Chains A and B, each alone.
Chain A
């Protein structure tokens, strides 16, 4: 493949928009994903994106703003999950499974019956480079900047609450408020990322860069930075692959990130063996 061929898609505005969104979304999901993974909340990210698909379809039918409607729907399902866990003897993973999958199923049924609002259903499910508009770029920029500001100003309470919620609460950190803030950030991230990634693959964009970063470092600060870089590179490379291979952008971005995982896993094993050998030499 020549340089010309590699650079050709950049002539198209839709592709440039797609690249911007995929790269920024990758970095954003990398950072947010660190908190999600370390709180063992991977399943919530997965569920939230699915339930938001239901909200998207409902908002389309009701004729309200798609993003606002889907966002509110996401909050309602999150509250429903919390309510079920509190009032019935059901674990949160099971409650998430029931509520968010039902919401996803509702979305699928509505889309089949009445057609997809705004974009076609495949684009929503698997991500589509063609579907990205300039307003999508602005949305992800705003969400990413807001998230960066939140992570900057609340770095320590976020870390403390994520690591050791009980002690954080005992020493005066408002952990309930911090937890809620993180849920809002997660919902906004899922919403803004949905077009490029597709609802079925967002969870991987949240989880994989964070997991790769965790394998590479034992420091939280470095993990955040590494996850952002790995996510951004995965988004950039995956979006290019999507164009050239003519495959939906969600799968190519996730597969790029997954290849980083394989690399880190293999390299990590080597390093550990070497460190082990040094350890034995003592």
Chain B
């Protein structure tokens, strides 16, 4: 993943080049954003509500057109999207297998899931720990299982890049860890993953690469480069302290009391855009 390179590499899967987006001529939601997603990336986009995280995903997916700049995708690139669970209609009549099967919607397809597709779906469900749940209605699953059904649907498109919008919102700590480990596994197998998250300590700090967004890219790099008070304050608009605990960054968004010593302005070299 690279940011603000003057000459964008040709080998990026998705190249966001100086992109500005607004809705219906309103104030810009994204301003001059540069970002390149390369094969094998696992990137987390963090920022406050209204910072343009979802819009950045939409711009990369091509469902929102920039007013200036361009988004270039590698020719024939297959993408998958895992939506926020809050946007799902849980009363909609789909079984797990139907939900995954609908992903192959392009070109001429049979209405029913073919025999070879059925075994592919079984494999994907196996891989995600959902074996034997194909006939269940999506509402009958636990929160973590529900999240994984939509991940399975994205995988079933044979996507090379998968986008996840707030994949861990509403999940408990353990389930959140499971999802994180699963994404890490998939990434090790070669899947490129881009996700948005509110969760700085539970998710962002564990990802290899972060983009701090507040309409424009405030900082990008490894967690130890960008989870620093300076970048966080400019991203979130309020002072935040950062602790170091067992080699991990821990962001504290409340004033620290007592005898803990926060990291101040450690200045991750080249972390800011």
- Chain A contacts to B: CB under 8 angstroms: 38, 151-153, 155-157, 159-160, 163-164, 166-173, 214, 217-223
From A155, A156, A168, A171, contact of B79 by CB (8 A): A171
The reply to whether B102 and A160 contact each other, CB–CB distance below 8 Å, is yes
Does B259 sit within 8 A of A, measured CB to CB? no
14 additional A-B residue pairs with CB within 8 Å, beyond A152-B111, A171-B80? A38-B92, A157-B105, A159-B94, A159-B102, A160-B103, A163-B99, A164-B87, A166-B63, A168-B105, A171-B103, A173-B106, A217-B93, A218-B93, A221-B98
From A152, A153, A166, A218, contact of B95 by CB (8 A): A218
Supposing A152-B111, A155-B111, A170-B63 touch, asked if A219 and B102 sit within 8 A by C-beta, the answer is no
Supposing A167-B81, A170-B79, A221-B112 touch, asked if A156 and B94 sit within 8 A by C-beta, the answer is no
Residue of B nearest to A161 (CB): B105
The reply to whether A163 and B105 contact each other, CB–CB distance below 8 Å, is no
Does B83 sit within 8 A of A, measured CB to CB? yes
Q: Specify which chain B residues have a CB less than 8 angstroms from the CB of A159 in the assembled complex.
A: 94, 98, 102, 105
The reply to whether B83 and A173 contact each other, CB–CB distance below 8 Å, is no
A-B contact count (CB 8 A): 80
Q: Specify which chain A residues have a CB less than 8 angstroms from the CB of B137 in the assembled complex.
A: 218-219
The reply to whether B58 and A170 contact each other, CB–CB distance below 8 Å, is yes
Q: Specify which chain B residues have a CB less than 8 angstroms from the CB of A221 in the assembled complex.
A: 98, 111-112
Residue of B nearest to A153 (CB): B108
User: Interface 1/0s, chain B 91-120, versus A by CB < 8 A?
Assistant: 011110011011111101111100000000
Q: Specify which chain A residues have a CB less than 8 angstroms from the CB of B157 in the assembled complex.
A: 171
- In the assembled complex, the Cα of A58 lies from the Cα of B156 at a distance in Å of 51
Does B88 sit within 8 A of A, measured CB to CB? yes
- In the assembled complex, the Cα of A169 lies from the Cα of B163 at a distance in Å of 14
Secondary structure of the A side of the interface? Answer: helix
Closest-CB distance, A83 to chain B (whole angstroms): 15
Closest-CB distance, A278 to chain B (whole angstroms): 14
From A38, A151, A171, A220, contact of B81 by CB (8 A): A171
Q: Specify which chain B residues have a CB less than 8 angstroms from the CB of A152 in the assembled complex.
A: 111
Q: Specify which chain B residues have a CB less than 8 angstroms from the CB of A38 in the assembled complex.
A: 92-93
Supposing A152-B111, A221-B98 touch, asked if A214 and B105 sit within 8 A by C-beta, the answer is no
The reply to whether B61 and A170 contact each other, CB–CB distance below 8 Å, is yes
Does B172 sit within 8 A of A, measured CB to CB? no
The reply to whether A156 and B111 contact each other, CB–CB distance below 8 Å, is yes
Supposing A167-B81, A218-B137, A219-B94 touch, asked if A156 and B108 sit within 8 A by C-beta, the answer is no
Q: Specify which chain A residues have a CB less than 8 angstroms from the CB of B159 in the assembled complex.
A: 171
Residue of A nearest to B136 (CB): A218
- In the assembled complex, the Cα of A173 lies from the Cα of B109 at a distance in Å of 13
Pick the 7 closest A-B CB pairs, nearest first.
A155-B111, A218-B137, A156-B105, A170-B61, A157-B105, A170-B81, A160-B102
Q: Specify which chain A residues have a CB less than 8 angstroms from the CB of B81 in the assembled complex.
A: 166-167, 170-171
The reply to whether B83 and A223 contact each other, CB–CB distance below 8 Å, is no
- B81, B111, B154, B157: which has the most chain A beta carbons within 10 Å? B111
Closest-CB distance, B196 to chain A (whole angstroms): 14
Does B189 sit within 8 A of A, measured CB to CB? no
Does B257 sit within 8 A of A, measured CB to CB? no
Residue of A nearest to B108 (CB): A153
The reply to whether B94 and A220 contact each other, CB–CB distance below 8 Å, is yes
Residue of B nearest to A215 (CB): B93
Q: Specify which chain B residues have a CB less than 8 angstroms from the CB of A156 in the assembled complex.
A: 101-102, 104-105, 109, 111
User: Interface 1/0s, chain B 145-157, versus A by CB < 8 A?
Assistant: 0000000001001
- In the assembled complex, the Cα of A221 lies from the Cα of B92 at a distance in Å of 12
| A–B complex contacts, Cβ < 8 Å, 9 sampled | A151-B111, A163-B94, A169-B63, A170-B62, A170-B81, A171-B154, A218-B95, A218-B137, A220-B98
- In the assembled complex, the Cα of A166 lies from the Cα of B109 at a distance in Å of 21
Q: Specify which chain A residues have a CB less than 8 angstroms from the CB of B98 in the assembled complex.
A: 159, 219-221
- In the assembled complex, the Cα of A38 lies from the Cα of B79 at a distance in Å of 26
Does B89 sit within 8 A of A, measured CB to CB? yes
The reply to whether A164 and B93 contact each other, CB–CB distance below 8 Å, is no
- In the assembled complex, the Cα of A160 lies from the Cα of B104 at a distance in Å of 9
Closest-CB distance, B189 to chain A (whole angstroms): 20
- In the assembled complex, the Cα of A55 lies from the Cα of B108 at a distance in Å of 36
